[in-house]
């Protein structure tokens, strides 16, 4: 039989938050006055964390919740928030009995918009129900709908993932020059994930080549990055049939309709002979 929480006048219950960031870091916080260890995660005492009311419904409308807190705890810093380390992170909020370790998850979802005000922050939480609003029906397109090396594409990501070393930094263009076994052209449209330095663990999209040399990153980087930092780079794909066939020999898995007439053909009308 499941436990009925807050049935007694006095209970040993605290709230907890668990944030699973995309860079692999998991942050655990609790309203208890001491750190709590359960599920293999240390939940640090965070008296500055204030949860709002959590609304859960039986219909398909997304549940609503948000969380506010101070930046006094080392687990959540202003620099991490500004760099986007918490953007899109998965979140679990629940109750835990600090004596028995019994727990229940009241809310699960992901972090939406995160705003910062001086020494505090607030975050909107997006429930899993929001995924029901995604239209699962594919739309026709001349380019491939599948993500590179993902289901549908079926290429092995290990074959297009390489180790790289930072050679130089082009701060004005937010670009980096890398030593890697593949050309810069092959990396355009791919990703870079840092092993070392202040951005360790962060994955940054590669948007294109820089005029001054190197590859432009979509995320702002620290202008003082030293050479020699290690990274993992993933090659990119422009999702065109020509590239899929000639470069990857993967035209059989192309998820697009490159020869389908577009709307411009429908809008045409006959003209009198000249």
Is 204 in the same domain as 244? yes
Is 104 in the same domain as 55? yes
**99 belongs to a structural domain:** yes
Is 203 in the same domain as 123? no
Q: Which of 52-61, 108-117, 218-227 has the highest mean pLDDT?
A: 218-227
Between 235 and 265, the more confident residue is: 235
What CATH number is given to the structural domain containing 161?
A: 2.40.10
Over pLDDT 70: what percentage of the chain? 80
Is 207 in the same domain as 164? yes
Q: Does pTM surpass 0.85? A: no
What CATH number is given to the structural domain containing 54?
A: 2.30.110
**150 belongs to a structural domain:** no
Name the β-bridge partners of 93: 17, 107
pLDDT level of residue 119 (50, 70, 90 thresholds): low
pLDDT at 71 over 50: no
Is 98 in the same domain as 61? yes
pLDDT (tens digit, 9 = 90+) per residue, 132-142?
A: 777 778 888 89
The pLDDT score that the predictor gives to residue 134 is 75
**262 belongs to a structural domain:** no
**69 belongs to a structural domain:** yes
Is 120 in the same domain as 20? yes
The pLDDT score that the predictor gives to residue 120 is 67
Is 188 in the same domain as 113? no
Nearest to 199 by CA among 230, 168, 177: 230
**114 belongs to a structural domain:** yes
**51 belongs to a structural domain:** yes
Is 20 in the same domain as 126? yes
Q: Between the CA of residue 189 and those of 11, 214, 217, 233, 250, what are the distances in Å?
A: 54, 13, 10, 11, 18
**149 belongs to a structural domain:** no
Q: Which residues contact 73 (CB under 8 A, 6 or more apart)?
A: 29, 44, 46, 48
- Cβ-in-10-Å burial (0-12, 13-18, 19+) of 224 comes to exposed
Is 205 in the same domain as 120? no
**210 belongs to a structural domain:** yes
Q: What is the mean pLDDT of residues 55-63?
A: 58
The pLDDT score that the predictor gives to residue 121 is 67
Is 121 in the same domain as 181? no
Is 41 in the same domain as 97? yes
Is 220 in the same domain as 180? yes
pLDDT (tens digit, 9 = 90+) per residue, 199-214?
A: 988 899 999 999 878 9
Overall number of domains in the chain: 2
pLDDT at 22 over 90: no
- Find the domain containing 245 and state its range: 157-253
């Amino acid at each position: 039989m499941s436990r009925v929480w807050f049935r007694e006048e006095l209970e040993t219950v605290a709230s907890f938050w668990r944030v699973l960031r995309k860079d692999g870091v998991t942050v655990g916080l609790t309203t208890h006055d001491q750190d709590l260890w359960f599920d293999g995660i240390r939940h640090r005492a965070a008296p500055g964390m204030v949860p709002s009311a959590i609304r859960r419904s039986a219909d398909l409308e997304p549940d609503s919740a948000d969380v506010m807190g101070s930046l006094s705890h080392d687990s959540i810093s202003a620099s991490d928030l500004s760099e986007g380390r918490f953007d899109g992170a998965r979140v679990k909020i629940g109750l835990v009995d600090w004596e028995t370790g019994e727990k229940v998850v009241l809310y699960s979802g992901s972090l939406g918009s995160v705003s910062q005000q001086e020494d505090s922050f607030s975050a909107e939480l997006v429930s899993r129900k929001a995924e029901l609003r995604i239209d699962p029906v594919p739309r026709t397109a001349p380019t491939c709908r599948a993500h590179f090396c993902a289901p549908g594409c079926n290429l092995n990501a290990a074959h297009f993932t390489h180790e790289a070393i930072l050679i130089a930094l082009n701060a004005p263009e937010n670009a980096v020059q890398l030593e890697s076994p593949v050309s810069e052209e092959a990396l355009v449209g791919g990703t870079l994930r840092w092993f070392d330095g202040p951005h360790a663990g962060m994955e940054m999209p590669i948007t294109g080549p820089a005029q001054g040399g190197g590859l432009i990153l979509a995320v702002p980087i620290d202008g003082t990055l030293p050479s020699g930092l290690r990274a993992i780079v993933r090659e990119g794909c422009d999702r065109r049939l020509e590239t899929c066939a000639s470069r990857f020999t993967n035209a059989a898995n192309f998820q697009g309709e490159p020869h389908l007439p577009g709307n411009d053909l429908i809008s045409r009308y006959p003209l009198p002979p000249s």
